[in-house]
C-alpha cells in the first residue's frame, strides 16, 4: 500500500516504530494534490520524514490523538480544504446536512472550529510535543478577525488554539524549513524567523530589534472600534507580498502575535516537483465500504496548472492566502500529469479542468512584480486594467492543444473561472474561439457577480459593459463556428453595497437577457476577505467610504429571491421585496 499510514498497524507494516509528524485533518484522507493534507504529507515524505495521517479523529476524547504514539517532531493540524465553520453551516447559519469531504458525504465528522479543538486535544495527549497549525482555517484567521457565526471579532487563532506555530499561505517551502529546524534540535519556542509563519511572544521593547515591522492596532482597539478594524485590515491587505511585505505585530495586552512576511512562492520547477510526487490520486480504501468520499469526483481528473491570482475580487480570500503573484507549472509537467491520468483504469477520456484560481492567468501580471513586488496602492485589473499588464494566452492555448491531442483523451474542459475582462484585453489571441471550439460543452460559466456598477465597484469587478462586450464576442464566435452555446452567469446576492433596488436592477437585467442563473450565492462573510471587512465595519477599508450592508436575514432572503424570481417558491418573497421597494409595477413582470 502506497498510502501513508492511518493506523498503528499500517505504520508497523512500513517498519516504523515512531512517526516524525502526525498530520491531523478535518477531512477524510484523500491522497490527491487538490488536498492540502496530501501535498504537505508527500512533500515531507520526499524529504525523508515519516508522516502518519490522523483523518477526522474523534475529538470527544484524547484516545484518537494517541493512535500513533508520540510523534518525534510534532503535530501538524488543519481543518481541511475548507474553514470548518463554512463547511458545517450555510450562510443562513443552518447546519449543513452533507459534507462532501467526509465518507459517504456524511455531515458531523469534524467539529466546529476544528483547528482549536484538535489543538487542545493534541496538547492533552502529549504536552511537550510541538503543535503547528496550518491550512485555510489557520491562514485566514492568523490575526484578529470578524467571525460571522459569533458575530464578533475573535482573537488570532494562535491565541485560542495555543499552538506553538502557525503556517499561513501555501506551506510547502515553509513546512520543510520548520521540519529541518526541529530536526536540528532547535526548540519550537525559538523558531521565529521563518517566512510564512506566525507565533506568539511576550511583548517586549526589543522583541523585533532590527526588523522592518508594522505595528497593527491592538486586539482591544479593533474590538472597540470598527474604524481601527478597517485600518488594521488595510495594513494586512497591503503587506501580503513576499517582496514588499513587512512583519506585522498585533498586541494582546502583554503578548503579541507576530506574523512574518509571506514565504517566497514556489517557482515553476518547484511547483512541478510538488505535483509530480507519488500521489495515489484517490481516497484511502478504508472509505470504500462507506460509499467513498464525494469531494474526489470533481477533481479526480483535473489538473492544477497555476497558483495565485491578481484578479483582486473583494469577496475572495485567495489574495490573503496565496497572494497576487501568479506562478504556473511548466507545459511539460502538465502534459506528464495528463498522460498519467490516461493510464488509470477509471479514466473515461475526459480531463475535467486544467486551471487554478483563475484558469487563464499563467504568470505574473507585469515584469515589475518580479523585482519590486506588487503595487501597494494599485490593482492589476481594477478599476480598469493597468497599462503595464501583460496579456498573453498563447502558452495556455498551447498547453490545451497539446493535452487534447494525447492518445486516450476525448475532451479537455475548463471549469476554473476565466477572467473575461482579461480576455477582452487580449487583442492578439484567438483564446475565446479556441475554447468555444474545443473546451466547453454547451455552456460557459462566467462570473459577472452583479450588474449594478455601484455594487461591482465594491466587489472590485469591472463595469457591466465589459461583461456585455464579452457576451457579444462569445455570441459572435459561436454563430461563426456554428455552435449553439450559452453563457451561465454566477451571481452574488446581498454583497456589501447592494440594496433592494440593486437586486431589482439585477433581476430585470436577467429577465431582459433571458439569463437563468445556474448558481446564486448569498454573500457569505468568511474570514480574510475585503468584503467581510466591509460587511462588519460598513466601511471600504481601502477608501474609507461608507458602504450599505444588508445584514438582516430577511433582507438577504429577499435579495436572493429576486435573483431567482422565476422559481415558483420565490414568488411570495419577490412580491414582498418589490412592495418594500415601492415597485409594485414590476410584480407581474418578474414572474
389, part of any domain: yes
Half-sphere exposure at residue 233, Cβ-oriented, CA atoms within 13 angstroms = 34
* pLDDT the model gives residue 388: 95
Calpha distance 404→401 (Å, rounded): 5
Note whether 527 and 317 are within 8 A (CB).
yes
Q: Which residue has the cell 439569463?
A: 515
Q: Which residue has the cell 497599462?
A: 387
Residue 27 sits in a domain whose CATH number is 3.40.50.280
264, part of any domain: no
* Total of domains in the chain: 3
The verdict on 412 and 558 lying in the same domain is no
The verdict on 422 and 477 lying in the same domain is no
The verdict on 410 and 472 lying in the same domain is no
Residue 462 sits in a domain whose CATH number is 3.30.750.200
* pLDDT the model gives residue 518: 63
The verdict on 560 and 486 lying in the same domain is yes
What are φ and ψ of residue 460, in 5° steps? 60, 45
The verdict on 32 and 89 lying in the same domain is yes
The verdict on 27 and 173 lying in the same domain is yes
Dihedral angle over CA of 140, 55, 100, 42, nearest 10:
70
Calpha distance 589→473 (Å, rounded): 29
CA distances from 31 to 25, 103, 307, 439, 579 (A): 12, 14, 19, 27, 53
> How far, rounded to the nearest angstrom, does the alpha carbon of residue 100 sit from its chain's CA centroid?
16
| Domain termination site, one of 157, 172, 200 | 200
CA distances from 515 to 176, 209, 423 (A): 49, 58, 21
Q: Which helix (H) or strand (E) holds 75?
A: strand 74-78
* pLDDT the model gives residue 515: 82
471, part of any domain: yes
The verdict on 41 and 115 lying in the same domain is yes
pTM: 0.95
Q: What is the DSSP letter of 246?
A: P
Beta-strand relationship, 306-307 and 327-328: antiparallel
- The shares of helix, strand and coil residues in the chain, as percent rounded to the nearest 5, are 40, 15, 45
* pLDDT the model gives residue 1: 52
| 3-class state of residue 589 by DSSP | coil
170, part of any domain: yes
The verdict on 369 and 415 lying in the same domain is yes
By CB atoms closer than 10 A (0-12, 13-18, 19+), residue 405 is: exposed
Q: Which residue has the cell 484560481?
A: 357
Angle, helices 431-438 vs 464-481, to 10°: value is 60
The verdict on 55 and 74 lying in the same domain is yes
Q: Which helix (H) or strand (E) holds 24?
A: strand 21-25
206, part of any domain: no
State the alpha helices, DSSP H only, in 282-393.
Answer: 296-299, 318-321, 331-342, 368-372
Question: Please, what sign has the CA dihedral across residues 146, 148, 154, 158?
Answer: negative
| Domain termination site, one of 180, 200, 220 | 200
266, part of any domain: no
397, part of any domain: yes
Calpha distance 413→277 (Å, rounded): 24
In a structure prediction context, what are the per-residue pLDDT tens digits for the chain, which is 591 residues long?
599 999 999 999 999 999 999 999 999 999 999 999 999 999 999 999 999 999 999 999 999 999 999 999 999 999 999 999 999 999 999 999 999 999 999 999 999 999 999 999 999 999 999 999 999 999 999 999 999 999 999 999 999 999 999 999 999 999 999 999 999 999 999 999 999 999 999 988 677 777 889 999 999 999 999 999 999 999 999 999 999 999 999 999 999 999 999 999 999 999 999 999 999 999 999 999 999 999 999 999 999 999 999 999 999 999 899 999 999 999 999 999 999 999 999 999 999 999 999 999 999 999 999 999 999 889 999 999 999 999 999 999 999 999 999 999 999 999 888 999 999 999 888 999 999 999 998 889 899 999 999 999 999 999 999 999 999 999 999 999 999 999 888 999 999 999 999 999 999 999 998 887 767 889 999 999 999 999 999 999 999 999 999 999 999 999 999 999 988 899 999 999 999 999 999 999 988
Cell triple for 272: 512541478
Note whether 459 and 312 are within 8 A (CB).
no
The verdict on 393 and 507 lying in the same domain is no
Exposure class string for 511-533: b at 16+ Cβ within 10 A, else e: eeeebebeebbbbbbbbbbbbbb
Calpha distance 154→115 (Å, rounded): 14
| Domain termination site, one of 150, 177, 200 | 200
Q: Which helix (H) or strand (E) holds 152?
A: strand 152-154
Residue 411 sits in a domain whose CATH number is 3.30.750.210
CA distances from 419 to 46, 431, 499 (A): 35, 12, 26
The verdict on 32 and 106 lying in the same domain is yes
Rg over alpha carbons for the chain, rounded to the nearest Å, is 24
Cell triple for 432: 475565446
Closest CA to 548 of 562, 561, 535, 531: 535
Which structural domain range is residue 410 located in?
301-441
484, part of any domain: yes
Closest CA to 180 of 48, 269, 80: 48
The verdict on 407 and 306 lying in the same domain is yes
Calpha distance 510→202 (Å, rounded): 56
Q: Which helix (H) or strand (E) holds 443?
A: strand 443-449
Amino acid at each position: 500500500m502506497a498510502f501513508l499510514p492511518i493506523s498503528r498497524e499500517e505504520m508497523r507494516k512500513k517498519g516504523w516504530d515512531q512517526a516524525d509528524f502526525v498530520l491531523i485533518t478535518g477531512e477524510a484522507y484523500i491522497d490527491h494534490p487538490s488536498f492540502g493534507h496530501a501535498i504537505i504529507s508527500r512533500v515531507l515524505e520526499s524529504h525523508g520524514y515519516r508522516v502518519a495521517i490522523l483523518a477526522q479523529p474523534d475529538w470527544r476524547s484524547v484516545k484518537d490523538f494517541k493512535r500513533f504514539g508520540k510523534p518525534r517532531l510534532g503535530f501538524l493540524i488543519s481543518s481541511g480544504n475548507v474553514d470548518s465553520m463554512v463547511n458545517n453551516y450555510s450562510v443562513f447559519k443552518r447546519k449543513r446536512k452533507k459534507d462532501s469531504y467526509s465518507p459517504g458525504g456524511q455531515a458531523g465528522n469534524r467539529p466546529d472550529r476544528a483547528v482549536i479543538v484538535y489543538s487542545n486535544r493534541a496538547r492533552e495527549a502529549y504536552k511537550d510535543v510541538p503543535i503547528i497549525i496550518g491550512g485555510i482555517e489557520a491562514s485566514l484567521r492568523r490575526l484578529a478577525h470578524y467571525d460571522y457565526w459569533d458575530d464578533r471579532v475573535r482573537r488570532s487563532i494562535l491565541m485560542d488554539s495555543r499552538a506553538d506555530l502557525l503556517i499561513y499561505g501555501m506551506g510547502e517551502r515553509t513546512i520543510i524549513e520548520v521540519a529541518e529546524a526541529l530536526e536540528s534540535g532547535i526548540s519550537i519556542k525559538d523558531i521565529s524567523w521563518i517566512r510564512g509563519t506566525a507565533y506568539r511572544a511576550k511583548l517586549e521593547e526589543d522583541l523585533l530589534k532590527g526588523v522592518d515591522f508594522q505595528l497593527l492596532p491592538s486586539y482591544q482597539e479593533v474590538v472597540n472600534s470598527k474604524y481601527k478594524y478597517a485600518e488594521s485590515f488595510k495594513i494586512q491587505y497591503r503587506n501580503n507580498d513576499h517582496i514588499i511585505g513587512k512583519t506585522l505585530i498585533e498586541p494582546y495586552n502583554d503578548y503579541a502575535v507576530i506574523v512574518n512576511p509571506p514565504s517566497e512562492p514556489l517557482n515553476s520547477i518547484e511547483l512541478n516537483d510538488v505535483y509530480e510526487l507519488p500521489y495515489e490520486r484517490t481516497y484511502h480504501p478504508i472509505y470504500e465500504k462507506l460509499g467513498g468520499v464525494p469531494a474526489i469526483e470533481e477533481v479526480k481528473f483535473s489538473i492544477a496548472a497555476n497558483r495565485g491570482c491578481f484578479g483582486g475580487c473583494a469577496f475572495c480570500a485567495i489574495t490573503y492566502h496565496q497572494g497576487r503573484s501568479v506562478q504556473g507549472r511548466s507545459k511539460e509537467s502538465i502534459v506528464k500529469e495528463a498522460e498519467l491520468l490516461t493510464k488509470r483504469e477509471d479514466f473515461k477520456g475526459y480531463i475535467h479542468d486544467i486551471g487554478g484560481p483563475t484558469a487563464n492567468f499563467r504568470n505574473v501580471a507585469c515584469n515589475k512584480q518580479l523585482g519590486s513586488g506588487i503595487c501597494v496602492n494599485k490593482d492589476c485589473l481594477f478599476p480598469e486594467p493597468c497599462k503595464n499588464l501583460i496579456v498573453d494566452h498563447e502558452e495556455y492555448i498551447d498547453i490545451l492543444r497539446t493535452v487534447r491531442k494525447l492518445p486516450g483523451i476525448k475532451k479537455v474542459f475548463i471549469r476554473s473561472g476565466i477572467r473575461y475582462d482579461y480576455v477582452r484585453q487580449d487583442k492578439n489571441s484567438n483564446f475565446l474561439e479556441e475554447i468555444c471550439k474545443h473546451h466547453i460543452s454547451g455552456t460557459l460559466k462566467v462570473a459577472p457577480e452583479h450588474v449594478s456598477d455601484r455594487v461591482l465597484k465594491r466587489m472590485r469587478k469591472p463595469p457591466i459593459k465589459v461583461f456585455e462586450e464579452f457576451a457579444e464576442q462569445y455570441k459572435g464566435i459561436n454563430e461563426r463556428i456554428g455552435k449553439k452555446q450559452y453563457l451561465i452567469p454566477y451571481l452574488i446576492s446581498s454583497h456589501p453595497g447592494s440594496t433592494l433596488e440593486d437586486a431589482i436592477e439585477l433581476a430585470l437585467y436577467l429577465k431582459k437577457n433571458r439569463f437563468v442563473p445556474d448558481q446564486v450565492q448569498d454573500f457569505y462573510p468568511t474570514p480574510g476577505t475585503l468584503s467581510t471587512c466591509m460587511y462588519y465595519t460598513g466601511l471600504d477599508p481601502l477608501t474609507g467610504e461608507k458602504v450599505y450592508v444588508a445584514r438582516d436575514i430577511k433582507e438577504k432572503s429577499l435579495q436572493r429571491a429576486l435573483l431567482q424570481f422565476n422559481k415558483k417558491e420565490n414568488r411570495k418573497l419577490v412580491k414582498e421585496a418589490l412592495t418594500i421597494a415601492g415597485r409594485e409595477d414590476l410584480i407581474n413582470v418578474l414572474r
